[in-house]
Amino acid sequence: MKKALIFILAAVLPLQGCSFPRAYPIESNLNILIAGLDTDESGDIILTAYTDTVSPSAKPGEEQISYKLYVAAGKTVSEANSRLHELNEKHLLWYHAKYIIVGEAAAKRGIDRLFAFFTEDDETKLLFRTAVVKGATALEFLQIAAKIKSGVADYLDSLFEEVKNTGKSREIHLLNYAINRQIPWNDVFIPTVEIRANPAAPDESGGDDKQNGGERNVIRLNGFALFNQDRLSGFIEDGTAAALNILNNELFGTKITVKSSHGNEVSLQIMKCVASFKPEFYPLGVSIEIRAESYLAEFYDGDNLSDRETVDYIKRQQNEAIKNSVEQCIETMQSLGSDAACFGDKFYHKNPLKWRQIKNDWRRIFPEMRFSVKVSSDIIGTYELKEPVSG
C-alpha cells in the first residue's frame, strides 16, 4: 500500500502548478518568415515582421496562404517583438523564420545589438540567413518586395539558389556571423539585397507596381556588405564579390569574359577555384596562389580552338582577369578596413607566438599590407564538335 501511495505522489506532484502546452489551430498562428531590422534617430530598433497565415479549406490541399507586414519598435529587439503581440489577435511564431534583413543605415550604426536577440532566444535559430539592404531600410525593402512577389521568403530562396551559378554572392547564416565575431581580428561580410527598376517593365507613371503584366521593380541579390567589426563600411558586387568567394574558397561557379588573340569575345565558365595562402611575418605580407579550372561557354567560330597557341592565349587572359578581380577585392577591403577574407587568422594559425606581437595593431597593419597574387588555370573543355554526331 505504501509503495502504491508513493508511486501516485511521484506521478502527481511534478505536475502541480504546471500545464501542458496550449494547442493552437493552424489558422490562429501567424508565422514570421522574415525579420526586418532598422534603427531610428533615437536609437530605438524597428522590427518589421513579414508573416504568413493559413486559412483552412473544406478540401485538403486547397488552404489559402496570405501574407502581411507588422511593424513595432522598442529599445531592444525583444521589446519590439513583445509589442508585435499587441498588434494582432493571432499567435506569433518564429519557428518558420528564414531571413534577418538589416537596413543600410542600421548596419552602419552596428549590428551586434540587432542580432543579439536571435543568438540568445531559444525560439529562433542560428541558421537564419542574413542580408543587408543596399540603399534603403529593411521596412522599405519589404514593403516594395511584398508588392512584387506574394511569397518574398520563397523568392529569396530561389535567388540564393541561383546565385550559386554566378558566384557573385552566397548564403551567410547567423551562425557564420556569430562565429566570426568571436574572433576580434576577423571581420564579417553579409550578402546584399536591393530593389532595382526593372528595365523590361513598361514606362508607366503612377499606379501599382504591376502594370500591363510587367513589374516596375525587381528584387536583386548581388554582392556583399563588408563590415569593420560590427559596422557596415562598404559594398562590393559582381566580379569583386566573386573574388571574395575565391579568397574564402567558396566559389563553385562563375563566368568571365575575355578577348581571344583575334580580338573576339570569349566567355568561360569557371567550375573550380582553389586559393592557398602563404603569410610571411618578415616582411609582413601574404602570397596567394590560385588554381582554376574552366570550360569555354561561348566563343566565336573564327577562333581555332584546336590551335594550342589560341587556347594558351585565352588561358593567359583568364589568369589575368581572375588576378585583377582578386587584387581589386583586396584593395577594396584594405580601403574599407575590413578583413573579410580573414587574413589575420592565417597569420595566427601559422605562428601564434609571432601573431601576439602584431595582433593589437592588426587594424592599422592590414590596410597597408603587401599582397602578391599568382593565378594558374586549365581549360578542360571546349565543347567544340569536330564532326557531326552520327545517329
Please enumerate in sequence order all residues whose Cβ is within 8 A of that of 317, keeping only pairs 6 or more positions apart, or say none: 258, 259, 260, 266
pLDDT, tens only, 19-30: 545 555 455 577
Convert the pLDDT of each residue in 369-391 to its tens digit.
999 999 999 888 765 555 544 44
Closest CA to 354 of 283, 285, 281: 281
How much is the pTM? 0.84
Helix 77-84 with 112-120: angle, nearest 10 deg: 60
pLDDT of residue 38: 97
Mean pLDDT of 134-156: 92
Residue 47 near residue 108, CB atoms below 8 Å: no
Q: How far apart are CA 382 and CA 252, in angstroms?
A: 19
Lowest mean pLDDT among 11-15, 93-97, 296-300, 337-341: 11-15
> What percent of the chain is modeled with pLDDT above 90?
58
- Alpha carbons within 13 angstroms on the beta-carbon side of residue 91 total 10
Return the closest-CA partner of residue 99 out of 62, 151, 57, 61: 151
Domain residue spans of the chain: 25-236, 238-391
pLDDT averaged over the chain?
85
Q: What is the pLDDT of residue 11?
A: 54
Lowest mean pLDDT among 70-79, 212-221, 316-325: 212-221
- Provide the 10 A C-beta neighbour count for residue 112: 13
The C-alpha cell 534583413 sits at 101
Instruction: Output the pLDDT for position 48.
Output: 96
Find the distance separating the first CA and the last CA of the chain, reported in whole Å.
Answer: 89
pLDDT at 310: 81
Q: Is residue 83 over pLDDT 80? A: yes
DSSP state of 173: B
Cell numbers for 60: 485538403
Q: What is the CATH number of domain 238-391?
A: 3.30.300.210
**Strand 99-102 to strand 129-133: parallel, antiparallel, or no bridges (unpaired)?**
parallel
| Of 266, 273, 254, 272, residue with least CA distance to 382 | 266
| Residue carrying the nine cell digits 580601403 | 335
332: Cβ–Cβ under 8 A, 6 or more apart, which residues? Answer: 226, 234, 236, 240
Q: What is the pLDDT of residues 214-242, one digit of tens each?
A: 478 899 999 999 999 999 999 999 999 99
The DSSP bridge pattern shows strands 29-39 and 99-102 to be parallel
